């Protein structure tokens, strides 16, 4: 994948962090998303806003295979359509009541969502990746990309950090000045190697946040 384009696709989270029958929250460029995996293992991504009164769907729960909103319990099926309204149990909800879905793909051990209709899918290579960790970093994603060695203009790259094996680093711009760094290792990596990479990720975070703090202070003093 190194040197390829990701189009409008963003790496939301490690696949391993999304259990079947659960929902989690994510944010891309300030846009809040609900990320759900159904019991069959398929991931779904919707805007994190209930079509009824705007409650965060990521705070909901899975009931009878559908995602139930925490507020009034409206339930939404895999395609985002409302399938049940508890206050009107005999009503068949109109198809227009629907959580707004995004395109979703799963590859390289990551759940990706597209915020651009026509963006190409991320390319898939034959390497199997194992998750190391995800870190939230309070620093601009471009600075973190440079610090870990992701080429300019890309959000993910395979890095040959050292002789022990390759690392996949993927960056999610959360909002201005904050990002998520996802790290994965080649499946052949041993436990010690995974611990080393997790420590490296923490070092990257510490340095990036220190630098961001210095830049902020320099701006305040100036």
**Taking CB under 6 A as the rule, does residue 50 contact ligand FES?**
yes
Residue 69, interface with ligand FES (CB under 6 A)?
yes
Helix (H) or strand (E) run with residue 145 in it? helix 141-148
Residue 60 or 131: the one with the smaller Cβ distance to ligand FES is 60
Q: Tokens 């499946």 identify what position? A: 187
Burial class (CB in 10 A: 0-12, 13-18, 19+), 143: middle
Closer to ligand FES at the Cβ: 86 or 190? 86
Nearest approach, Cβ of 50 to ligand FES (angstroms)?
3
> CB of 102: closest distance to ligand FES in angstroms?
19
- Rounded-to-integer distance, Cα 67 and Cα 113, Å: 19
- Report strand pairing: 9-14 vs 22-28: unpaired
71 binds ligand FES (CB under 6 A): yes
Segment interacting with ligand FES (CB under 6 A) among 49-57, 148-156, 192-200, 214-222: 49-57
Q: In the set 20, 29, 53, 91, which binds ligand FES (CB under 6 A)?
A: 53
Question: 65: left (phi > 0), else alpha (psi -120 to 50), else beta?
Answer: left
String of contacts with ligand FES for each residue 4-23, x by CB under 6 A: --------------------
Q: How far apart are CA 4 and CA 123, in angstroms?
A: 7
Contact footprint for ligand FES (CB under 6 A) = 50, 52-53, 55, 69, 71-72, 74
């Amino acid at each position: 994948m190194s040197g390829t384009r990701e189009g409008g696709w963003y790496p939301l989270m490690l696949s391993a962090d999304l259990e079947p029958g659960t929902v989690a929250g994510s944010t891309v460029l300030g846009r809040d998303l609900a990320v759900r995996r159904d019991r069959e293992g398929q991931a779904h991504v919707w805007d994190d806003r209930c079509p009824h009164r705007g409650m965060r769907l990521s705070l909901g729960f899975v009931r009878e295979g559908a995602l139930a909103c925490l507020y009034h319990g409206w339930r939404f099926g895999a395609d985002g359509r409302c399938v049940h309204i508890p206050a009107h149990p005999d009503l068949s909800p109109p198809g227009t009541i629907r959580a707004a879905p995004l395109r979703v793909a799963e590859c390289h051990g990551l759940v990706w969502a597209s915020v651009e209709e026509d963006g190409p899918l991320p390319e898939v290579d034959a390497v199997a990746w194992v998750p190391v960790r995800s870190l939230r970093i309070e620093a601009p994603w471009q600075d973190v990309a440079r610090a870990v060695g992701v080429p300019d203009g890309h959000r993910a790259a395979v890095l040959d950090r050292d002789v022990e094996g390759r690392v996949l680093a993927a960056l999610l711009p959360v909002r201005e000045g904050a990002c998520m760094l996802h790290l994965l290792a080649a499946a052949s990596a041993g436990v010690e190697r995974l611990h080393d990479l997790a420590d490296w990720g923490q070092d990257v975070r510490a340095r990036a946040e220190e630098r961001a703090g210095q830049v902020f202070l320099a701006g305040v003093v100036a």
